[in-house]
Amino acid sequence: MSPRLRFATACAAVFALGVPAIAQAPSAPHEIVVTAQRSGAPMWTIDTPTGTIILVGEIRAVPKSTPWQPDRLKEATAEASRVILRASPKFSPGDVLRLIFRGGSFTKLPDGSVAADYLTPGQRTRLAALEAKYDVKYDRRSFLMSSFDLLARRLDFDDDTTKDATDIVRKAADRADVPITRPERFRGEDLLDDLAEAEPASHIPCLEAAMSATEAGQDIVEARGNAWRKFDVPAVMANPLEIALGTCWPWADDDLGDEIRDQWTGMIADAARDSGVTLAVVPLRVLAEQDGVLDQLEAREFAISGPDWRSPS
């Protein structure tokens, strides 16, 4: 696969970090909640006048060494009334062709410029140290591409992992004929245009976060999984890998990031009017960040039960 096609796939995979779904006749809500909680994934429940909402906090790329029980989540899904899941962006063959022909605008810095033209001396020194360590050159690459390379190839955060909670719930819902609702998908054309129009400097925070995660080393990958399994949400949110994944496009884009978060909040609030049990798998960062979905739902006076998602500070 060519570098540009790999980049298209990476963009779709990264973006898929966050968009939502809904279903039908449940068993007793309490039993479904208990079954879901036995999976070991952090989750929150909201009791409504007509039913219960279960919010499963998902992280991508859970290490195989993380001790959790996805089969319990499958069982709970089969008994739920509806499921809310993220949706992948809608990339057409034409979008892929556009990416190939315009790939330089995504993968490289503007003609005639190099990384040092945008970075502070300290930032360039850090990047040079990583280039020397991994025998790679980032001088002409776009900062987003350099960040993806650091996280996926140098830190290798998504190697030797289990299936994501979204994949587990989607397959279980399909088998049990539980309805799945997702938001309207973003068009690939719009996403590529947004990415092409971004100034190179707008991706420097992503690069800094990716450098910090890579410098911290492989131990942070397992530490993130263990904190997730222990329901230590602030520790997950403070993990350098989680920070990097949440700092890079599309989350750092004001318009795209806000729209993704608003979609989740709106769909969960709508589910509060439904009867039975709604099971939603939501990116943990979208749930637990400051002014994220949990904060917004609490501001709407929903009674939320589950792990503390706020940092002690």
Q: Are 138 and 214 in contact (CB under 8 A)?
A: no
Q: Give all strands of the β-sheet with 304-305 in edge-to-edge order.
A: 180-181, 82-84, 276-283, 51-58, 43-47, 304-305
ω into residue 250 within 30 of 0, thus cis?
Answer: yes
Predicted local distance difference test score (pLDDT) of residue 255? 65
Q: What is the pTM of this model?
A: 0.84
Question: What does the pLDDT average to over 10-17?
Answer: 44
Residue 105 backbone dihedrals phi, psi, to 5 degrees:
-70, -20
Q: Give the C-alpha separation, 298 to 294, whole Å.
A: 6
Predicted local distance difference test score (pLDDT) of residue 283? 92
pLDDT band at residue 263, thresholds of 50, 70 and 90? confident
**Of the candidates 43, 44, 41, 37, the residue with the CA atom closest to the CA atom of residue 68:** 41
Other C-beta atoms closer than 10 Å to the C-beta of 254 total 8
> What tokens does 91 get?
């990339």
Query: Residue 113: pLDDT above 60?
Result: yes
Q: Are 83 and 167 in contact (CB under 8 A)?
A: no
Q: Give the C-alpha separation, 259 to 187, whole Å.
A: 13
**Of the candidates 151, 146, 140, the residue with the CA atom closest to the CA atom of residue 113:** 140
**Of the candidates 37, 87, 114, 91, the residue with the CA atom closest to the CA atom of residue 279:** 37
Question: What does the pLDDT average to over 58-71?
Answer: 92
CA angle (92 as vertex; 91, 95 as ends), nearest 5: 80
pLDDT band at residue 228, thresholds of 50, 70 and 90? very high
**Of the candidates 177, 152, 225, the residue with the CA atom closest to the CA atom of residue 23:** 177
